[in-house]
Amino acid sequence: MKVLDITKQKFGENAILYSLTNDNGLTMNVTNLGARIVDLIVPINGKERNIVLGFGTEEDYLTKDMYFGATIGRVAGRIKHGSFSIDDQYYQLPVSPENGHTLHGGLNSFEAKIWEVEVEEKNDQIAVHFSYVSPSGENGFPGELKARVTYSFTNNNEWIIDYQAETDQPTLFNPTNHVYFNLTGDMTQAVGEHRLFVASDQFAVVDSDTTVTGELRSVAETPFDFREPKSVNQVFETNYEQNTLVNGLDHPFMLNQTGFERPQAIITSPKQDLSVEMYTDRPAVVIFTAQFGQGGPDVRGQKLVNHGGITLETQIAPGAVEFEGFGDIILYPETTYQSRTIFKIK
């Protein structure tokens, strides 16, 4: 077994692109702009297939969509009205003028930062360590937060994401990765023919602005039941009210189990020649089906079709600062945050 290959090149004015290739010919490209995945290229029947949505330059991300493939933080998802309390101390974050909420930590959060990089090479994997110090008060959050995200790429065709963080004041922390998968490699094909498995008995109901209502609803007898692998079209081709509210999936699914013994979610390509398994220690996954309508960006020379990607955003469920039973995202100085998610290509 050889050491995996890694190269780097300029990706724009400030960003660097790191290219990691394993013994099986899979290539993962990542960048320090937003500690993000740019490409995941898999050889299938002698042809290369890029199975994640991404852009070719730093400028493309800055002008088209900053969330594609990025590390999201300090807090993934929506904080309703941008307000929360820690130990009876009230905080107000900047909110979006469109809906009055704070999304993904607010504007110019983790996804927009140039992260420090350290590369570590081992016999069976390459690790790219991204680090960023978020100053106290950034986007309204208390505490200086030292965040570290490690991407490991292995000869077992695994992309391992390890998150770590420390703070000097009580704050909120609930990161995720905003990777979009399209296992056909064709951005003009919607993901409706993909098959989806999710080990989840319950999902969080959302309102018309996609904030959670506090209700956890059984997936039984709904189009959101993926406890057995089913076509994603079962969501798109229904008038179920939770689908019609957001025109697809933009929902937290509460996972039945966590850990790394068996996958909590699996996406399979329409021809069943490729699948991605998700393993996580987080209690929930937000699944979003890229309902951009006709407003989707060009992706590698192709116009992104509506529902042209699907995310598996592992995290503590949005609503944790509001509702009992949704989890706890408060990070205290005496605690080090750690979590892991693995995507395995098969």
Per this entry, what is the length of the chain? 346
Q: What are the residue ranges of helices labelled H in the chain?
A: 58-63, 233-236, 241-246
Fold type of domain 5-345: Beta-galactosidase; Chain A, domain 5 (2.70.98)
Q: What are the sequence ranges of the domains in the chain?
A: 5-345
Query: pLDDT tens-digit profile of 55-96?
Result: 999 999 999 999 999 999 999 999 999 999 999 999 999 999
Catalytic (active-site) positions: 178, 313
- pLDDT tens, position by position, 175-200: 999 999 999 999 999 999 999 999 99
Which of 209, 174, 170, 173 minimizes the C-alpha distance to 90?
Answer: 170
Sequence-ordered list of residues with C-beta below 8 angstroms from that of 97, at least 6 positions apart, any chain:
none
Say how far apart CA 62 and CA 66 lie, in whole Å: 6
Provide the 10 A C-beta neighbour count for residue 345: 19
- The dihedral built from the CA positions of residue 299, 300, 302 and 307, taken in this order, carries a sign that is negative
pTM of the predicted structure, to 2 decimals: 0.97
* Sign (positive or negative) of CA dihedral 179, 187, 225, 210: positive
Q: How many CB atoms lie within 10 A of CB 155?
A: 17
pLDDT averaged over 10-residue windows placed end to end, the chain, 346 residues: 80 97 96 98 96 98 98 98 97 95 97 98 92 98 98 97 98 98 97 98 96 98 98 96 96 98 98 98 98 96 97 98 96 98 98
230-250 burial: b if 16+ Cβ within 10 Å, else e: ebbbbbbeeeeebbebbebbb
Instruction: Render pLDDT for 296-322 as a digit per residue (tens, 0 to 9).
Output: 999 999 999 999 999 999 999 999 999
**Count of CB atoms situated within 10 Å of the CB of 9:** 9
Other beta carbons within 10 angstroms of residue 168's beta carbon come to 12
